[in-house]
Structure 1
Amino acid sequence: MVRSRGSARVSDLAAELEVSVVTARRDVEELARAGKLRRGHGVARSLDSVARAQAPRSAPSHGAGDAAVALVVPERHTYLYETMHGARTVLDAAGIRVALHITPQATGAERPLVERALADGARGLLIAPRWRTVAEEEAGHAWLAGLDVPTVLMERRPPRGSALHAMDSVCSDHWYGMRLAVDHLVSLGHRRIVLAARDDSPTARALRSAFAGIAGGLEEIEDWSVVLSASSSEAADGAAGPAERQGTGDGGGPVTGEGLARLLREHDFTAAVLHGDVDALMLVQQLADSGVRVPQDCSVVAYDDVVAAFGSTPLTAVAPPKAAVGRVAAELLVQRLSRPGAPPQRTELLPTLQIRGSAQDLASDRSTV
């Protein structure tokens, strides 16, 4: 991050990486000792920026890194930070300087950041828009389609026929990821499954739709339901759609561990898919407080696999290829910069399932939920 910006305040690094200032300062000191950056009073500076500051004013600049590529990801989104790091490895190897832009949570915050980056001379763009609602996503299509620099969408798949249908994009195949989760639970004998998922991003909406289609289409599934897993959704379309209501349906508002435990008891659900990881870990803790044990009383598969392995009960999780999405997107952008007229590409990468023991065979000893 320091290399891409030239300099950064330690407090800003701590906030964006979601660590304490003490941790960020300690890491900056370690990098300074290793000769990878320079420390100042509360500021970290890249060696390149220090060299440029010390060079004679008449010294010309050289190299591909003089014109940056803008990399835009949402604030406090650990999942997409892994994608960001994957992209940077490719761009750094190509000698292309990265200008990182962190999008705040305000609606429409991407556009002014992108316009500023282009005004500063960015010659390409990698972007993962937040798009909390369908309306916000549709509003973003028009201005993104009008950009005059090579642009690759990361973890976003515009609908067919939209203004961005022909824009380069690289994302995870979340339908396949959800199928991995459901098939795993079905293979363990579970026939009554609930999905607790967010609804404040294109990924969350894709997962809800995928689960409804998969669970509703499998003869083995006797009953299913979709509930909202977090209260941070601003989506006006946050309630379950018609396809989701084919199951037990959701209760309208975000579910707590107590509410999820009640749903499990009332409908004899034996398994749950939980999106995302942080919500999953919190719900598992709250289920325990309500007397529901994982996996003895309820088998759980999380979705995202950012922190799922670190719970007191390590969670089996679907792991989208986060870093690979960033790498492939960056490789595609590098190609676009050298061959602007090449046909657009829409690439999907397959998630994997990481089994850790939070889901067990239904035939195992199980208390009444």
Structure 2
Amino acid sequence: MREPVDVRRQRILAAVQARGAARVSDLAAELQVSVVTVRRDVEELTRAGRLRRGHGVVRSVLPEPLPPDEVPDGDAVAVVVPERHTYLYEALHGARTVLEEAGVRIALHIAPQVAGAERPLVERALADGARGLLLAPRWRSLAAEEADYAWLSALEVPAVLMERRPRPGSALSAVDSVCSDHRHGARLAVEHLVALGHRRIVFATRDDSPTARTLRAALTEIAGAHPLVADWAWALSSPSAGQGGPYTERETAELSALLREKRATAAVLHGDVDALMLIQQLAENAVRVPEDCSVVAYDDVVAGIGTIPLTAVSPPKAEVGRVAAELLLQRLDKARGAAWSVRRIELLPTLVVRGSTRAHTDTGE
């Protein structure tokens, strides 16, 4: 199944931002497309000011970590985000704006996709003189999350977690955090579809991050308790969306087949790319969106640029970064920050209605 051009370009952008630079030939091999195709995509991204192009190489326009001897003592904040995570790169841009306006230098660290990758990066940043931290650990599973609690809770500099909320009562519950209220976002999606007359809904989410786990729990809880939802089911949004299990046969079923089985007239998917791929899958089975099936995406990173612009729940990604940076700066102001209690800030997502949802009138199914 051919990947939409805008999705492919987002993947190129995320890959280059994660590494700082990449060879065009390597990107082509990873994306399984021709070098000519990648060159064309890079030219468009360069023209938009999102990448810098060299001879056979493409570079990120994000700030690079400064060498230790160039970071002014006591004037750097380390930002640690996962590799290939476009969602959190938007939060990074929000934080960058606030920190640069305050005259604070940023040392950006990209955590590779392996368990425990954040700890050595944080230790290096502290050794280089970072006086504060903004963190978004990958935490693909609850076990990985809990494994980080001890060393994160022992940090001796102010730290703020972005889009991460440790378990209440855990060793890390005394660390500041700024998150989207994903339960509120889940409710927006369900209420939107119910208001349009949909009574049978399939939910498909990832299961490999704190956001994914929260969203799955919220969607299924809200649908299960809703008096107007006649039937619903949950499944993984793609074969690569979960690392653990065990999952039932239905939870790993092809989504178009699950929609047919449940006679569902609507679906909510986390995230945008999987929602766009579902629309392509439905089209191959002569199912029209939104005429036969309404689709809501969760994330709103590339939802609006599909062939059918997707109705989407849009977490306040950049604002999460801005608020986290503002909170960290307050903590760094020793005259005030040390006296404040721990803060857990939640920001509400919004619903952006586009062309992938419409009213369903046959409620007698």
Q: TM-score if structure 1 supplies the norm length?
A: 0.80
2:82 to 36, 59, 74: 74
Deviation string 1:67-113 (CA, Å, 9 cap, x unpaired) is: 31111111111111100100000000000000111111111111111
Distance 2:143 2:292 in 1: 39
The answer on 1:336 being equivalent to 2:334 is no
The alpha carbon displacement at 1:284 in A equals: 1.2
Could you say if the C-alpha distance between residues 105 and 45 of structure 1 is closer, same or farther in structure 2, counting changes exceeding 3 Å? Answer: closer
TM-aligned CA distance change 1:143 to 1:271, over 3 Å: same
**CA distance in 2 between partners of 1:44 and 1:77 (Å):** 17
Please, which of 277, 283, 287 is the counterpart of residue 282 of structure 2?
287
Do the aligned residues in 2 keep the contact of 1:200 with 1:232 (CA within 8 Å)?
no
By how many angstroms is 1:209 displaced? 0.2
How far residue 163 of structure 1 moved from its aligned partner, in angstroms, is 1.2
Following the alignment from structure 2 to structure 1, what is the Cα–Cα distance between the partners of residues 246 and 164? 19
1:275 matches 2:270: yes
Change (3 A) 1:29 1:211: closer
CA pair 311-61 structure 1, distance change in 2 beyond 3 A: closer
The 8 Å contact of residues 256 and 278 in structure 2, kept in 1 or not, is answered as no
Unaligned runs of 5+ in 1: 32-36, 54-59, 240-249
Could you say which residue in structure 2 is the equivalent of 1:265? Answer: 260
- Which position in structure 2 is the counterpart of 1:88? 96
Matched position secondary structure for 2:235? strand
Q: Map of 1:144-159 to 2, 5 A cutoff?
A: 144-159=152-167
CA distance, structure 2, for counterparts of residue 28 and residue 289 of structure 1: 34
CA distance in 2 between counterparts of 1:350 and 1:306 reads 16
Answer whether contact 2:232 2:262 (CA < 8 A) is retained.
no
* Moved beyond 6 Å, runs of 4+: 21-31, 39-46, 60-64
Residues 176-220 of structure 1: CA deviation (Å, up to 9, x unaligned):
000000000000011111101110100000000001110111111
Q: What's 1:296 paired with? A: 291
> Is the aligned partner of 1:137 residue 2:135?
no
**CA shift in 2, pair 1:196/1:126, >3 Å:** same
The 5 Å alignment of 1:182-331 reads 182-233=190-241, 235-237=243-245, 239=247, 251=249, 254-256=252-254, 260-331=255-326
Q: Does 2:104 align with 1:106?
A: no
Residue 346 (1) aligns with residue 344 (2): yes
Contact 2:205/2:241 (<8 A) preserved:
no
1:356 to 354, 357, 365: 354
Superposed displacement of residue 251, structure 1: 2.8
Aligned to 2:10: none
1:160 is the counterpart of 2:199: no
1:363 Cα offset (Å): 1.6
1:230 and 1:255 in contact (8 A); partners too: no
Aligned letter for 1:292?
A: V
The one-letter code matched in structure 2 to 1:107 is: A
CA deviation profile, 1:33-87 (whole Å, cap 9, x unmatched)? xxxx9x99979899x99xx99xxxxxx98978x6311111111111111001000
Preserved contact between residue 200 and residue 231 of structure 2 (Cα < 8 Å): yes
CA spacing shift, 1:224–1:129, aligned 2, 3 Å: same
C-alpha distance in 2, partners of 1:276/1:41? 32
User: Residue 178 of structure 2: which of 156, 170, 187 is its match?
Assistant: 170
Which amino acid letter does the alignment assign opposite residue 177 of structure 1?
G
- Residues 227 and 252 in structure 1, CA contact (< 8 A), matched pair in contact too: yes
- 1:231 Cα deviation after fit: 2.3
SS of equivalent residue, structure 1 residue 302: strand
Query: Percent identity at matched positions?
Result: 58
Of the structure 1 ranges 320-329 and 224-233, higher mean CA displacement relative to structure 2 is found in 224-233
In the superposition, the TM-score normalised over structure 2's length comes to 0.81
Residue 337 of structure 1 aligns with an amino acid whose one-letter code is L
Letter in 1 for 2:80: V
Query: What per-residue deviation string (whole Å, max 9, x for no partner) do you get for residues 146-192 of structure 1?
Result: 11110000001111111111210000000000000000000001111
SS at match of 2:177: strand
Instruction: Look up the SS of the partner of 2:122 in the other structure.
Output: helix
Tell me which amino acid in the other structure corresponds to 1:228. Answer: L
More divergent stretch after superposition (337-346 vs 77-86): 337-346
> Which stretch shows the higher mean deviation, 175-184 or 160-169?
160-169
Q: Aligned pairs, how many?
A: 332
Aligned residues: CA RMSD: 3.6
Structure 2 gaps of 5+ residues are 1-16, 32-36
Post-superposition shift, 1:311? 1.1
- The letter of the residue matching 1:251 is E
Helix, strand or coil at the partner of 2:190: helix
> Which residue does the alignment assign to 1:243?
none
Q: Which moves more between the two structures, 130-139 or 229-238?
A: 229-238
Q: Is the 8 A contact 1:281 1:311 kept in 2?
A: yes
